[in-house]
Structure 1
Amino acid sequence: MTHADPDQLSDLLDTMRAAQRAQPHPTADMRRQRLDALAALLGEHQDAICAAIDADFGGRPTEETQLLELFPSLQAVRHARGHLRRWMKPKRHLAGLWFLPARTLLVPRPLGVVGIIVPWNYPLFLAVGPLVDALAAGNRAMVKMSEYTPRFAALFADLIAQYFPEGEVCVVNGDASVAQAFSALPFDHLLFTGSTAVGRHVMRAAAANLTPVTLELGGKSPAIIGPGARFEAAVERIVYGKCVNAGQTCIAPDYVLLPRGREADFIACARRVVARMYPQLAAGGQYASIVDAAKHARLLRLRDEAVERGAKAHALASSSSDDARRVLPPTVLTDTPDAAGVMQEEIFGPLLPVVPYDELQDALDYIAARPHPLALYLFDDDRAVQRRVERSQLAGGMCINDTLYHVAQHHLPFGGVGASGLGAYHGEAGFRTFSKMLPVFRQTRLNGVGLLNPPYGARFRRMMGLLLRR
């Protein structure tokens, strides 16, 4: 479906439900066929996918789409295929001691029809990632693409219709009114990726139907350069995490905490990194544009407002901004007041505030005083420091001595906590998110449960004496 009317969505969901009722528990082979179809779609249309996303952004390197979207999408399919039979296998256990010889099972069952709402910043991976998990769990799926990436959304809708029969997977396109109607549908599970503000509206709409939700949101993900860090290596990985997709990444480093007095070292090193990675930043075709004029204007406003409040802006590239192409060079901000918007909002662009600390505990207290981030980055080779941060901080995920790549580990769950999200997916975690782990108690023919039957006399009291003893 290329474009949907909000009134059509309920009928579409009914069609998907009817298909699921006709085949409520697909076999492992059926699920693998669906995953194979998705892999074929990705493998056979890589050029078209990259071109569509590039056009939607007004300039995004093919190499970034290959590395950050196509590669992890294909890896997600391979991972699910390789582990599917083990995930589907019921988990068998003995019953509790007093109920032996009964047995218990946990049987993974598909939930039914899953809704997936996709953001604009990684429109392929953030559609395919949850779709892989939903299909592996045996569900049907309806996918709402972002209206901010219309070319890719139309292409993905056409490709899904080619590779999947009606009633298995469908793509819905449309404006904000369609998105609102989509989130209000009585899905068996709804996964939303996007901003915290919109996530609240999605959760409110889902609550009317008691639809369970997984919310993948965002927030201000900090990067700590610890006292035992390899400083230049830390700066390189932070700059990389901030510059790919021009910082339009939910897990991009949002600000840096570093030892006081090393701000100038950070800026000098970051400039060398940018010069090496992007020798012709504005014209080289290796650096992404901001996706649209409104988001570009917002980033300029955040930067300028910070400067007006006393911050200093340090451009990391010699290229000036190209407003026509929405190319915004990476910029470090120092001496930025906490009240500035850039310190209050998720930045979602190539602006990088640097906050000095005197003691590591000061940095940890700074993070702990704010909403839990989606990602936490620590650069330090001291294992004691690593354990200290792991045990004192709560975040959606943590990455040590690198940025971003924890999201590509399919045996690790991906999700936020608090304001940065609710629930998780990827790999087995996603399979369980989109499954009902059905608990089954299986009684044997010969058992002793009749000893607890009424009338409650001396025998019952003796049995309860055994059961209730400490």
Structure 2
Amino acid sequence: MALEGGPGELGTILAKQKAAHLRDGIPSVEKRIDWLDRSIDLLTTHGDKLNEAMREDFGHRSVDQSNFTDIAGSIGALKHAKKHVKTWMKPEKRSTDFPLGLFGAKARIQYQPKGVIGVISPWNFPVNLTFTPLAGVFAAGNRTMIKPSEFTERTSELMKQLFAEYYSEEEVAVVTGGPDVGAAFSKLAFDHLLFTGATSIAYHVMRAAADNLVPLTLELGGKSPVILGESADLEKAAKRIMAGKTLNAGQICLAPDYAFVPKAKTQDFIKAASASVESMFPTGIKDNEDYTSVINQRHFERLNGYIDDARSKGAEVINLNPKQEDLTQQPHHKIAPTIIVDPTDDMKVMQDEIFGPILPIKTYGSTQEAVDYINAHPRPLGLYYFGQDADEREHVLNNTTSGGVTVNDVIFHVAQEDLPFGGVGPSGMGSYHGVDGFREFSHRKSVYTQVGPDLMAIARPPYGEKYRKLVAGRLKK
């Protein structure tokens, strides 16, 4: 792939956007809605082209899935911002210290655009994770530079072309290229930088951003666990877990990574999971239009390596392959859903974020065992609890830390526009979606208006007895 946008060119584009931000001032609500509307129009008009580009980039990707997750999902976020941006922009009143408020002092938070937001978007949902952040970016009144993934080359080039048709370079600029362009992009002096991707890459992004003290939002991943409680509806839970594990072939930062299953219910869960896969993919995996490929050969080999490593170390490996198809010789890198029973921590599948259709299940005797295991490992992006026991549910939620939680399903908390989406610690920092995205990409400026009477004259030198009494009154318990 031909690389473009070296450091000099990138810096020129950034300077142009920053100059336009200063020249035009804070955008009106009408301008922000116009920016949002243009993205909505882009997606509704060119959604089919984008879906086809994603299908080709993956080798095969379900067009129906793409239409829902990437096109409709993005439009929903943009429409939500359009509906609420006028309210979000209003200054937020705050109280003042006594007795200043009695004399007319005022305090408020004013939400001000940061300026130019850098967006580094990933390959797994290349359209959604480019456009969904723009809901908050545009609502907050910012301009943006976007670096999409080189793994989804056709989609990235098409987005670059479409953005250029709908926006000026002063408003939105897309730069494509490989790791060297990504490294140069992350070194730019943005007013804020959003990175969505692997934790291993986030270390490099954060170091690069530190040179310019650029504030960051990091949307990463990790091993998001499932706890299947004793009171859970086993069949329903298996359907929902396997739906989350097979969506996009498990290539989701919030995919259920591994599951805790009560020891006595292990075989029942495996049967229910197998039945679920057969129900979703009755014609098999290999040529099924609804089943998505692994993105490329490297990740295909990585995932098969996890399976081989677990098998060689004694784990029970169960392929949920409805038609028992031979997937070793096929062009699209498809991997059947696979369950690994009671993996040990020395297995690679329990050390790395899986990012594929493999589900390790760990049997447990008490909920506390599961909680202790989760707390002994890096904090995940998501956590999923299935069950009807309210006390057990609250114990799990109150004694674990994760970016977000879905109860009695997986992934769905990310689809709620009125909930912030973000990680904690190694799974990320900062959050966006809805009003939280607007705030993430805004500067929350504190504004205080002093009273007319010179009440604070007492606090200026030379200090006298009245001043000392005033201070003494504030030193009491």
Give TM-score, length-normalised by structure 2: 0.97
Question: Whole-Å Cα distance in 2 between the matches of residues 447 and 42 of structure 1?
Answer: 57
Residue 312 (structure 1) aligned to one of 299, 316, 339:
316
* Residue 207 of structure 2: aligned partner: 204
- SS of the equivalent of 2:221 reads coil
User: Is residue 2:166 matched to residue 1:163?
Assistant: yes
The percentage of aligned residue pairs carrying the same residue is 41
* Residue 59 of structure 1: aligned partner: 60
Question: Whole-Å Cα distance in 1 between the matches of residues 95 and 298 of structure 2?
Answer: 59
- SS of the equivalent of 1:386 reads helix
Q: Offset of 1:153 from its aligned partner? A: 0.4
Asked whether the 8 Å contact 2:59–2:331 carries over to 1, the reply is: no
User: Is residue 2:289 matched to residue 1:282?
Assistant: no
Matches within 5 A, 1:53-132: 53-100=54-101, 101=103, 102-132=105-135
* Residue 383 of structure 1: aligned partner: 390
* Residue 142 of structure 2: aligned partner: 139
Matches within 5 A, 1:7-406: 7-100=8-101, 101=103, 102-280=105-283, 281-317=285-321, 318-322=324-328, 323-406=330-413
In structure 1, stretches of 5+ residues that fail to align are none
- SS of the equivalent of 1:30 reads helix
Give, as a single letter, the amino acid of the residue that structure 1 aligns with 2:327: S
Asked whether the 8 Å contact 1:319–1:329 carries over to 2, the reply is: no
Give, as a single letter, the amino acid of the residue that structure 2 aligns with 1:423: G
Give TM-score, length-normalised by structure 1: 0.98
Question: Whole-Å Cα distance in 1 between the matches of residues 325 and 99 of structure 2?
Answer: 74
Give, as a single letter, the amino acid of the residue that structure 1 aligns with 2:73: P
Q: What do residues 334-378 of structure 1 show as CA deviations (whole Å, max 9, x unaligned)?
A: 132211100000000011100000011111111111100000000
Asked whether the 8 Å contact 1:24–1:110 carries over to 2, the reply is: no
Task: Provide the aligned C-alpha RMSD in A.
Answer: 1.3
Question: Whole-Å Cα distance in 2 between the matches of residues 447 and 368 of structure 1?
Answer: 55
Give, as a single letter, the amino acid of the residue that structure 1 aligns with 2:268: D
Question: Whole-Å Cα distance in 2 between the matches of residues 142 and 408 of structure 1?
Answer: 25
Question: Whole-Å Cα distance in 2 between the matches of residues 38 and 51 of structure 1?
Answer: 18
Q: Offset of 1:467 from its aligned partner? A: 2.6
Q: 1:126 to 1:150 in 2, by over 3 A?
A: same
Segment drifting more, 194-203 vs 334-343: 334-343
Give, as a single letter, the amino acid of the residue that structure 1 aligns with 2:84: H
* Residue 447 of structure 2: aligned partner: 440
In structure 2, stretches of 5+ residues that fail to align are none
Asked whether the 8 Å contact 2:3–2:181 carries over to 1, the reply is: no
User: Is residue 2:435 matched to residue 1:428?
Assistant: yes
Question: Whole-Å Cα distance in 1 between the matches of residues 202 and 151 of structure 2?
Answer: 17
Q: Offset of 1:449 from its aligned partner? A: 1.6
Question: Whole-Å Cα distance in 1 between the matches of residues 474 and 339 of structure 2?
Answer: 65
* Residue 410 of structure 1: aligned partner: 417
Q: Offset of 1:447 from its aligned partner? A: 4.7
Q: Offset of 1:469 from its aligned partner? A: 2.5
- SS of the equivalent of 1:257 reads strand
- SS of the equivalent of 1:261 reads helix
- SS of the equivalent of 1:437 reads strand
Give, as a single letter, the amino acid of the residue that structure 2 aligns with 1:17: K
Residue 455 (structure 1) aligned to one of 439, 457, 462:
462
- SS of the equivalent of 2:264 reads coil
Question: Whole-Å Cα distance in 2 between the matches of residues 94 and 221 of structure 1?
Answer: 41
Segment drifting more, 93-102 vs 61-70: 93-102
- How many correspondences in the alignment? 470
Question: Whole-Å Cα distance in 1 between the matches of residues 74 and 173 of structure 2?
Answer: 18
Asked whether the 8 Å contact 1:53–1:151 carries over to 2, the reply is: yes
Which stretches of structure 1, 4 residues or longer, exceed 6 Å deviation after superposition?
A: none
Q: 1:68 to 1:110 in 2, by over 3 A?
A: same
Asked whether the 8 Å contact 2:13–2:169 carries over to 1, the reply is: no
Q: What do residues 291-317 of structure 1 show as CA deviations (whole Å, max 9, x unaligned)?
A: 111110111111101111111110112
Question: Whole-Å Cα distance in 2 between the matches of residues 83 and 152 of structure 1?
Answer: 30
Asked whether the 8 Å contact 1:118–1:146 carries over to 2, the reply is: yes
Asked whether the 8 Å contact 2:228–2:385 carries over to 1, the reply is: yes
- SS of the equivalent of 2:38 reads helix
